[in-house]
Amino acid sequence: MKGLMVQGTASSVGKSLVCTAICRLLSNEGKQVAPFKSQNMSSLSTRTEEGLEISVSQALQARAARTPYLAEMNPILLKPTGNMESDIIILGKKENRLNGMRYRDQFFEEGQKLITNSIKTLSASYEYLILEGAGSPVEVNLRDRELVNMRVADLANVPVLLVANIEYGGVFASIVGTLALLPEAQRARVKGIIINKFRGDISLFQEGIDFIEEYTGIDVIGVVPYFQNEFEEEDGEAKSSENASDEHINEWASHFKKYIKWDKIIAILNSDVVSK
């Protein structure tokens, strides 16, 4: 199995839709590809053909990959119920209701096993896995028991693309700061940087690209202009898998590919896995 993980400098930088585009572009090339997000926190869900519940983001990505939704694509779904509690959906079935602290304390080891087994199941059926992180990989107060970012990249042993949103400013600090806070072994997994939601003339940003590449030693493999679409992200997730037409998915994927060094993404996907 080949794969990569899309992580972000923060929430709502565009990770979900970057994964959606990559899934569609690989599918267009005849590849068997599956999306994966270890854990999602969202009230937005849909069901597989077997009636199992998964996040709408992974459902949309599965549609982009032209493959059926599977519970293993989103093995842990946390559905907020209020009062700092969430329903815990495991492989599509409601298992329990816990608050954040109890979940963190009680579920970590079980969660790692569940994630590992789901990755193995998908790897047996697909050539490529496109994994999505959540929030930022450098929330230092959560790092020791996180189940969504670099620990998952380690479990899957895949390289990472780092996505940053330039729309609100601070893109240089967010990229440099994220990389600076990663332990050396995890930083080594980051093989490319994508700057998303750019507005204006990209040619005027070349100095910024040069700075990022020289300062970090990592290639900027794309500066993607803002794109108005029918599946705007909400709290880090696409709003609906059903409402987005195949045409909308194709439009977004074509837009993404136009501004990305696609050959670099293919090279990263096909590179040797990173040593653990």
Assess whether pLDDT exceeds 80 at residue 276.
no
Which residues constitute the domain of residue 113? 2-270
Greater pLDDT, 230 or 135? 135
In whole angstroms, give the CA distance from residue 23 to residue 29.
10
Residue 27 three-state SS: helix
pLDDT digits (tens, 9 = 90+) for 146-198: 999 999 999 999 999 999 999 989 999 999 999 999 999 999 999 999 999 99
pLDDT digits (tens, 9 = 90+) for 9-38: 999 999 999 999 999 999 999 999 999 999
pLDDT digits (tens, 9 = 90+) for 135-159: 999 999 888 889 999 999 999 999 9
- Identify whether 276 is part of a domain: no
What's the predicted TM-score (pTM) here?
0.93
- In angstroms, how far is CA 188 from the centroid of its own chain? 18
In whole angstroms, give the CA distance from residue 250 to residue 245.
9
H helix or E strand, kind and range, residue 112: helix 108-123
What's the total number of domains in the chain?
Answer: 1
Q: Which amino acid is at 168?
A: Y
Q: How confident is the model at residue 123 (pLDDT cuts 50, 70, 90)?
A: very high
- Identify whether 30 is part of a domain: yes
Q: How confident is the model at residue 201 (pLDDT cuts 50, 70, 90)?
A: very high
- Identify whether 275 is part of a domain: no
**What mean pLDDT is predicted for residues 77-94?**
86
- Identify whether 155 is part of a domain: yes
Assess whether pLDDT exceeds 50 at residue 203.
yes
- Give residue 272's pLDDT: 72
User: In the sheet where 160-165 sits, what is the strand order?
Assistant: 33-36, 128-132, 2-8, 160-165, 190-198, 220-225
For the chain, what is the mean pLDDT?
A: 91
Assess whether pLDDT exceeds 80 at residue 5.
yes
- Give residue 83's pLDDT: 76
Secondary structure (DSSP) of 156-169: HT--EEEEEE-TTS
- Identify whether 159 is part of a domain: yes
Structural contact between residues 185 and 206, judged by C-beta atoms closer than 8 angstroms: no
- Identify whether 65 is part of a domain: yes
**What mean pLDDT is predicted for residues 230-258?**
75
- Give residue 208's pLDDT: 97
Assess whether pLDDT exceeds 50 at residue 234.
no
CATH number of the domain that 57 lies in? 3.40.50.300
In whole angstroms, give the CA distance from residue 143 to residue 157.
18
Beta bridge partners of 97: 87
